[in-house]
Amino acid sequence: MIRLDRVSKRYADGTVAVQELSLEVGRGELVVLVGPSGCGKTTTMKMVNRLVEPTAGSIYVDGVDVTQADPVALRRGIGYVIQNVGLFPHRTIEDNIAVVPELVGWARRQRADRARELMELVGLDPAVHGPRYPHELSGGQRQRVGVARALAVDPPVLLMDEPFSAVDPVVRSQLQDEFLRLQDDVRKTILFVTHDIEEAVRLGDRIAVFKQGGLLEQYDTPAAVLGAPATDFVADFVGADRGLKRLSVTPITQADLEHPPVVRAEDDLTDAGSVLGSGRWAVVLDGDGKLAGWVGRDMLTGSGRVRDRARRMEAWVELDDTLKVAFAEMLQWNAGWIAVLDDDDRYVGVLTPATLHTALRRSVEAEVQDVPRAAVLLETVQDA
Ligand SMILES: Nc1ncnc2c1ncn2[C@@H]1O[C@H](COP(=O)(O)OP(=O)(O)OP(=O)(O)O)[C@@H](O)[C@H]1O
């Protein structure tokens, strides 16, 4: 959808901002350009909508060479969101969102409807926020308006330059979550610039790591960049805690799970005791295979059914949640294990700190060896 072919930019004063950059962004893909200050991220982005003209190379958007396109028409087809939003201070929020629809000649009624629809989409209340002026909103709300405005005429491509960096970390994290949900809905092709590796890893389908001079050091999925940095520069940039950061990009899979004894809520206590054997606890399921709780061996005394003694589970996670979510839940509930459910809410196994660690090691090794995760064999203490 967006293709840069050996693009370079040298500014009039001789500064080389981008060098021989080739990069492709697929339709519906969210690609994050990340790197230290001055490495050419913004320049790269501005060449796509011709706010900056390349010195060499070609750029195509949906197969069209942008240098041959009319810049005004080109920009209308590409949403643009910047850090301080650039809202018109004397126009209401509703009118700010409707700027481009107005430019392209939509009727008043249609513009107003679209503005309200977009406010709802980005989590603003049209009745409350629509008539306000930009200074009457919080920083986070203004950023949402920026996103709504960029989506107004439903452009297939969005360029976003540090859109969330002017707000505090809590609001920023909220905006990132909302933005990911929104992208799930609208599936735009997005180039997103940030200097923050955490943000890049959280948002990007792929991330492009730049170093000074506009050199592309690595272009890959967040998991691959964290697991197998291509150069020393990338390893340094992503940080010594990249192993920890990988927790947030590594999903739980079936192969990671452990399978402790399982008893049914309707089981007789004595039968349940024999299922446990020497085990200290068991997972309790109802008749449909759904999680009903857990039970300890010392709770199985006397007569009755397992359901009379079972304890409710405070927390669980789902397959496809990340290892970070699982670890955070274990820490929050001070638990030694956490149950994992499938898409239909059926119990499939448990994760423990040890299996979680193994899953993480396996995923890194899979990245390095370029093989599926299940194919990786790891040495363990038991092998010694
Ligand atoms: N109009 C300009 N004239 C001359 N040099 C420029 C101009 N714009 C940017 N530069 C230089 O080009 C280089 C890349 O700048 P650019 O803004 O693309 O970097 P960036 O990675 O987006 O940085 P940041 O994260 O600080 O925004 C820098 O050295 C910058 O000083």
* Dist. CA 20–CA 63, nearest whole Å: 20
Question: How high is the pLDDT of residue 99?
Answer: 84
The predicted model gives 118-135 an average pLDDT of 88
ipTM score for this prediction: 0.93
Q: Whose CA is nearest to atom 18 of ligand 1?
A: 40
Domains of the chain: 2-246 (3.40.50.300), 254-359 (3.10.580.10)
Whole-number pLDDT of residue 29: 96
Query: Ligand 1 test: best mutation among 8, 11, 209, most atoms within 8 Å of CB?
Result: 11
Could you give the C-alpha distances from 104 to 77, 101, 365, in angstroms and in order?
Answer: 11, 5, 52
pTM of the model: 0.80
Residue 51 CA to ligand 1 center (angstroms) comes to 13
Q: Is 38 in the pocket of ligand 1 (CB under 6 A)?
A: yes
Q: Which of 7, 33, 41 for mutating ligand 1's site (highest number of atoms within 8 Å of CB)?
A: 41
Looking at the predicted structure, is the pLDDT value of residue 381 above 80? no
Q: Is 14 in the pocket of ligand 1 (CB under 6 A)?
A: no
The torsion angle over the Cα atoms of residues 52, 82, 167 and 250, rounded to 10 degrees, is -80
Whole-number Å distance, alpha carbon 200 to ligand 1 midpoint, is 19
Q: Which amino acid does the sequence have at 288?
A: D
pLDDT tens for 179-229 read 898 888 889 999 999 999 989 999 999 999 999 888 999 999 998 899 889
Q: Which residue has the higher pLDDT, 245 or 379?
A: 245
Closest Cα to residue 47, out of 34, 73, 65? 65
Over residues 338-375, the pLDDT tens digits come to 999 999 999 999 999 989 998 888 888 887 787 777 77
Q: Which residue has the tokens 């299922």?
A: 275
Cβ burial 60-91 (10 Å sphere, 16+ → b, else e): bbeeeebeebeeeebbbbbbbbbbebebeeee
DSSP states along 336-364: S-EEEE-TTSBEEEEE-HHHHHHHHHHHH
Cβ of 369 closer than 6 Å to ligand 1, yes or no, is no
81 pLDDT higher than 70? yes
Closest CA to 19 of 32, 4, 34, 31: 4
Ligand 1 atom showing the smallest separation from residue 46 Cα: 18
Residue nearest (by alpha carbon) to ligand 1 atom 31: 38
289 and 347 Cβ atoms separated by less than 8 Å: yes
Cβ(47)–Cβ(54) under 8 Å? yes
Report how far ligand 1's centroid is from the alpha carbon of 35 (Å): 12
Looking at ligand 1, which atom is closest to the CA of residue 45?
18
Terminal alpha carbon distance of the chain: 52
